[in-house]
Amino acid sequence: MIDIRTLRENPEAVRASQQARGDDPALVDAVLAADEKRRASQQAFEDLRAQQKNLSRTIGKASAEERPAILAQAKEMSEHVKALEAEANVAAEQFQAAMYKIANPVLPGVPAGGEDDYEVLREVGSIPDFATRGFEPKDHLDVAEGLGAVDMERGTKVSGSRFYYLKGIGARLELALLTMAADQAEANGFTLMNTPTLVRPEVMGGTGFLGAHSDEIYYLPADDLYLTGTSEVALAGYHSNEILDLSDGPKRYAGWSTCYRREAGSYGRDTRGIIRVHQFNKVEMFSFCPEEQATDEHQRFLAWEEEMIQKMELPYRVINTAAGDLGSSAAQKFDCEAWLPTQNRYMEVTSTSNCTTFQARRLGIRERFEGSTRAVATLNGTLATTRWLVSMFENHQQPDGSLYIPQAMRPYLGGRELISVQ
């Protein structure tokens, strides 16, 4: 949720953000109207309640002859006060609902437009030339099945489409990748956490995931709980309705969890293998920091993500995501995309978002500041996830079907340099 003062003082900036995102700028006027109605209703209620209190004070001083009339007036005024209070509550609810429709204003430098309007910031590493290596690369699933690392057929048999088993070396590779990410996070001051994967509606909504893309989320109506698609949700809710001490710097957590996504909006894209699946594992970075430090913290998150990709020895690029491709909570997002040889394209493997104070306002997370309190900034970024194996299988495959293991990963796999075909 944005700061209403920002919207009152600079509505044109919020309208411009809405337009850049492809959202309706008229929502700004709807919020301003709801705000005006809310404040007027609250003032009318408080004014009449003050009159009611003053009238109540006169009852004890009134004569026997005056008291009946004053009591009658007090009764009538009490009913009117209750009616105004109800109107003020409705106006407040309408204002809150309108505010929840406004996405976080994008930061300067975020490209306008949709999914294809990103800005490429840099390309890192050399794209492998399989022609000079003397063989045609297989796609990640063929490589993985050849190594005995993935079983899609039985995953589908047990759970349906887009479920799978990682087995043998596949399970070891994922565990090695996530453990390497956890080690890097701890080395950089993150507190490692195994997070809940079921959360209450107020936490899911507070992080901004119950908006336009709520159909991506698994919901358990019998328990009124949601399965999380990222540990960002549980990490954001960890300090909900708390006042934090950030005098020593940001509070950083790294959440290791299983994640669940319905992939309702994928429309058949990347259905082969383990690119878009319903269940996967992930190590997610999360930070609570003072809002003026958020931009620098965002760059740190991106640097840590790039460090992990470089350890995996994968060619990649970094993009500045366009406004229309941001989630409602993010004011800016950088994606790291690894090269996918068999599809001749880059594929997102990790991203980091600066959510400014948007999530914290919804979740009631504040810090002490200049004798008062204010909302903190929140940031998130993926440090490793199951999808990374896709790019690893394709880029590091060898002519005989074996798999090269990056040097940084070898200590997590007993020193193995190569995984042979089963």
| Residue 293 marked ligand-binding | no
| Residue 54 marked ligand-binding | no
| Residue 89 marked ligand-binding | no
- How deeply is 41 buried, as exposed, middle or buried, from its count of CB atoms within 10 A (0-12, 13-18, 19+)? buried
Taking CA atoms, 115 is separated from 118, 211, 260, 322, 327, in Å, by: 7, 18, 23, 7, 12
| Residue 350 marked ligand-binding | yes
Two tokens at 290? 């003072």
Two tokens at 237? 């809710």
What is the rounded distance in angstroms from the CA atom of residue 297 to the CA atom of residue 293? 6
| Residue 231 marked ligand-binding | yes
How much of the chain is in helix, strand and coil states, percent to nearest 5?
45, 20, 35
What is the rounded distance in angstroms from the CA atom of residue 175 to the CA atom of residue 389? 11
Q: Three-class SS of residue 272?
A: coil
| Residue 266 marked ligand-binding | no
Q: Three-class SS of residue 422?
A: coil
What is the rounded distance in angstroms from the CA atom of residue 139 to the CA atom of residue 236? 36
| Residue 284 marked ligand-binding | yes
| Residue 18 marked ligand-binding | no
| Residue 8 marked ligand-binding | no
Count H helices and E strands in the chain, helices first: 13, 18
| Residue 230 marked ligand-binding | yes
What is the rounded distance in angstroms from the CA atom of residue 21 to the CA atom of residue 23? 5
| Residue 104 marked ligand-binding | no
Two tokens at 107? 């930061």
| Residue 279 marked ligand-binding | yes
- How deeply is 18 buried, as exposed, middle or buried, from its count of CB atoms within 10 A (0-12, 13-18, 19+)? buried
- How deeply is 389 buried, as exposed, middle or buried, from its count of CB atoms within 10 A (0-12, 13-18, 19+)? buried
| Residue 351 marked ligand-binding | yes
Catalytic machinery residues: 261, 276, 348, 351, 387
What is the rounded distance in angstroms from the CA atom of residue 207 to the CA atom of residue 147? 39
| Residue 380 marked ligand-binding | yes
In this structure, the chain runs to a length of 422
Which position has the token pair 């063929």? 142
| Residue 36 marked ligand-binding | no
Two tokens at 195? 């997070």
Four-residue CA torsion sign, 96, 100, 102, 107 = positive
Give the residue from 368, 307, 359, 315 showing the smallest Cα distance to 337. 315
What is the rounded distance in angstroms from the CA atom of residue 137 to the CA atom of residue 288? 43
| Residue 295 marked ligand-binding | no
| Residue 90 marked ligand-binding | no
Binding residues: 230-232, 261-263, 277-280, 284, 348-351, 380, 382
Annotated binding site for ATP: 261-263, 277-280, 348-351
Residues in binding site for L-serine: 230-232, 261, 284, 380, 382
